[in-house]
Amino acid sequence: MTSYPSLPRLQISTNQRFLITEEGVPFFWLADTAWELLHRLDREEMQHYLYTRAKQGFNVIQTVALAELDGLHTPNAYGRVPLQKDSSGLPDPLQPDLDGEYSYWHHVDEMIRMAASMGMYTALLPTWGDKFYQMWGKGPEIFTPDNAFVYGKWLGERYRDVPSLIWVLGGDRPLQTRRHFEMIRQMALGIREGDQDGHLMTFHPKGGVSSSLYVHEESWLDFNMVQSSHSAGVRNNYRLIQADYHLDPVKPTLDAEPYYEDIPIDFNPDNGYFDEADVRQAAYYAVFSGAAGHTYGHHSVWAMADGMYSSVDMEQQGAFFIMSWQDALQRPGAGQMKYLHQLMTSVNLLTAHPAGHLLEESLSGANTPMAIKGDNYIFIYCPQGLYVKVRLGALPYSNLTVSWYCPRTGQHQGAEQVENIDTRLFTAPSSGRGNDWVLCLYSGIKE
């Protein structure tokens, strides 16, 4: 029986906007996307991946039990598939692979244990969406409402005593029919019946929407996930976060799949690739719009690609994946995510709320600023530097300490004292693509 490190369980904050530990400590979600982790890596590779992400400051790993890339038929690194076959030859959700000393599910156990030993939670999808609604991908569709409940109950019972788990239903598919809704609902109810301790549960939707579109009012949904996705155009994932923020009942929300670093724009290599400036913008836009945290992703890491390939089939050389997952672990955007965590945990996160009303004559499009306010601070993200005009007087005390925070280095610069009155124009230290800055205003003197 696997012994799991005892991380504090996660809960929803009293104001329903954030995550906290069972000890009442604010928990800023900073996740990495590793959809194929359980399917493609062996223990040593898994340890290298997890150790690297832990050192970079990530505290959640998003992965999938029944993986996207032919996860039912292509064996994992140890030659095991997750499910045995039924009498018709299809993988059977009622017959998990548990034979031998190190089955498929023992490998899942080991990943969860290993991540927790490094202080990281596992956000586990029971299945990728093509297993209940193929639409595209390998499939096959193997779930019904009945077996979804039983599979969910089995998972809930298996991991009920694991404090470091978060359940994520869905898997990049829309819910378009009553049958789709019922399969997800039954899987959630099955997990809840098996998991008496009630781990947090959410839903990973298709691209361009939030889980709130489908299941916001479901009692099993504890917080929302957005997939702002990988399409071309001006970055505006803040719109989805803002829409969730104003829903009733109030629930936390976060962008769980923004554009990945080094993914082809609009999935087409001819368009070029999203880079570290793009992933920083997505992160700060989401959090400064009211998100409870953020998920980073790299295109080669989610798929655990071992080189350059033309497609997700990874059969021919090409420009769809442009590096190995090992090289991708060190890409600049991944290393810079910790600076967002550093900034938001330096203040009272639980008092943060969107504060766009404090901005006057805001720039627009790719230059749109985003503001958040707490009990004694205001943070304003300027994606291209430039300038921002702020209505002062919203914070206590007659003076404010003002500085510019660099999302690329995690350093403040240019600190000064200003009177907390009137409207004031602040100009960033530099401007242009990749020259994003956060204007930080603190009540009184900030050491």
Segment 46-81, tens digit of pLDDT: 999 999 999 999 999 999 999 999 999 999 999 999
pLDDT band, very low/low/confident/very high, at 104 (cuts 50, 70, 90): very high
User: Is it the case that residue 335 has pLDDT exceeding 80?
Assistant: yes
Amino acid at 304: M
Sheet hosting strand 293-296, strand order edge to edge:
201-204, 165-170, 121-125, 60-64, 29-33, 293-296, 253-255, 224-227, 209-210
Q: pLDDT by residue (tens digit) across 256-296?
A: 999 999 999 999 999 999 999 999 999 999 999 999 999 99
- Spatial separation of the C-alpha atoms in residues 413 and 368, rounded to whole Å: 22
pLDDT at 198: 84
The model's pTM: 0.97
73-80: long-range contacts, CB 8 A cutoff, minimum separation 24: 73/138, 74/39, 76/38, 76/39, 76/40, 76/104, 76/107, 77/40, 77/41, 77/42, 77/45, 77/107, 78/42, 78/102, 78/104, 78/107, 80/104, 80/107
Helix 104-117 vs helix 43-55: angle between axes, to the nearest 10 degrees?
30
- Report percent pLDDT > 90 for the chain: 97
Q: Return all residues near 427 (Cβ < 8 A) that are at least 6 apart.
A: 386, 387
Amino acid at 298: H
Amino acid at 263: I
Q: pLDDT by residue (tens digit) across 382-405?
A: 999 999 999 999 999 999 999 999
pLDDT band, very low/low/confident/very high, at 445 (cuts 50, 70, 90): low
What does the mean pLDDT of the chain come to? 97
For the ranges 33-37, 177-181, 233-237, 406-410, which has the lowest average pLDDT?
233-237
SS3 148: helix
User: Is it the case that residue 354 has pLDDT exceeding 90?
Assistant: yes
Distances (CA, A) of 97 to 27, 42, 66, 195, 435: 34, 17, 12, 20, 50
Strand partners, 210: 226
Beta strand residue intervals within 136-269, DSSP E: 165-170, 201-204, 209-210, 224-227, 253-255
What are the b/e assignments for 412-426, b being 16+ CB within 10 Å? beeeeeeebeeebeb
Q: pLDDT by residue (tens digit) across 289-329?
A: 999 999 999 999 999 999 999 999 999 999 999 999 999 99
For the ranges 42-51, 169-178, 193-202, 251-260, which has the lowest average pLDDT?
193-202
Residue 158: exposure state from Cβ atoms within 10 A (0-12, 13-18, ≥19): middle
Domains identified in the chain and CATH numbers: 10-348 (3.20.20.80), 355-443 (2.60.40)
Identify the CA nearest to 426 among candidates 372, 386, 368, 370. 386
